[in-house]
Structure formats: structure tokens, C-alpha cells
Structure 1
């Protein structure tokens, strides 16, 4: 009996906002890669995020290792977008003004 080697697609899907999610869960590729870069094993990642399947985590890590340049570019873009959103929110919702209104209403 011989083993049939089948190619499976990476368990990654891009949502309408352009965010890559893993295995049909809400967990992002960003999360998996960050944990992996911090030294977490696939088993530890599944323990932290129980909605993930171990095979999907291994496949996501393999995808990252095989496409590191593209994934790193995606992660850099996501970080830039997050920074832009933070800056827009700081302009729109001045944290100093919020603190003053909270302390001013305690009188």
C-alpha cells in the first residue's frame, strides 16, 4: 500500500477587511506569527486559542516560513494601518479632553 500525498491549501482566509484569519476562526495570522516569533510552539498557541486546530496552526506556521517575505510585508502593512487608526482616533477623541470631562464631572 502506498501513501497518497495530497496537497492541502493553507487554512487561511482573507476577510472583507483584508485581515487573514486562520482555520475559519477569528484568530488572525498576525496572532499566530507573533506567538511563533516569541517562541511559542504550535501546541502552546492552540492552548492559548482553543478555537484553533493543531494542524491549522502548524500549516499556518509552515505557510509563514515558506512565504516569510510576503507575510512580513503584510504584517508591516497591518501595523501601519493600526498606527494610522490610532492617530486618527487620538485626533478625533482627545484623551486629555476626556480626562478633564471625567474629573470635572466628579465635583
Structure 2
């Protein structure tokens, strides 16, 4: 089984932060897991949205995930924490403009 998975999954230092990914692509195992488990996409739907990968690639990614559950879950948690940290440090320009607009509208006397 390991040799079949290794044909489809690779880990390369410096590519995708060294996280396991579909061979020849930048699609990480954790991406496939999120699409499948959290977004409810079937393996066929994933392949239809990313036609450069095969159904065997998707199933190999899911098999790798199930063989390395805690590692992949930890990577997902770390990436989510990083994204939240960036959101806090870098407020949305759209949200800032809306707040400024609302503040301006609130200060204009109605008619």
C-alpha cells in the first residue's frame, strides 16, 4: 500500500512548506481533506473541479490522511490559527471603508 500512495503523494522540502501533497501539484493532502470532510465534496467532485489530478490521487490523499490523522489535523489547525492571526493583524480594507462610511452617514443630519 505504501508504494501505491508514494506514487501519488510526495513531500518536498520548500514546496508547500514541506507538507504532503499530490505528486506534481501544489494541492496538499490537507486541502483534499477539507474539501471532502468539511465542504462535503465527493472525490469525483474534487476531480471535476481540479481536472489536473486523478481520482487515484484524491483517494491516495485520503488514504494518506487516514494513515496520518493527527499530523494532518495538526497542520490544518496550525494553518487556521495562522489565518486568524493574519486577519487580526491585517483588518479588511472593505470593512474599514464601510465603518468610515457608516460613521459619516451617522453624523449627517436627516432632513
TM-score (norm: length of structure 1): 0.68
Map of 2:31 onto structure 1 = 31
**Residue in 1 that maps onto 2:64:** 63
> Per the alignment, in what secondary structure is the counterpart of residue 90 of structure 2?
helix
Structure 1 unaligned segments of length 5 or more: list them. Answer: none
Higher normalized contact order (CA 8 Å, seq sep 6+, divided by chain length): 2
1:13 to 5, 11, 14: 11
**Which residues of 2 match residues 41-80 of structure 1 at below 5 A?**
41-80=42-81
What is the Cα-based RMSD across aligned positions, in Å?
3.0
Which runs of structure 1 show a deviation greater than 4 angstroms over 4 or more consecutive aligned residues? none
What runs of 5+ residues in structure 2 fail to find an aligned partner?
105-111
| Comparing 6-15 and 58-67, the one that deviates more | 6-15
* Mapped partners of 2:2, 2:77: distance in 1: 32
- The aligned length equals 96
TM-score, length of structure 2 as denominator length: 0.66
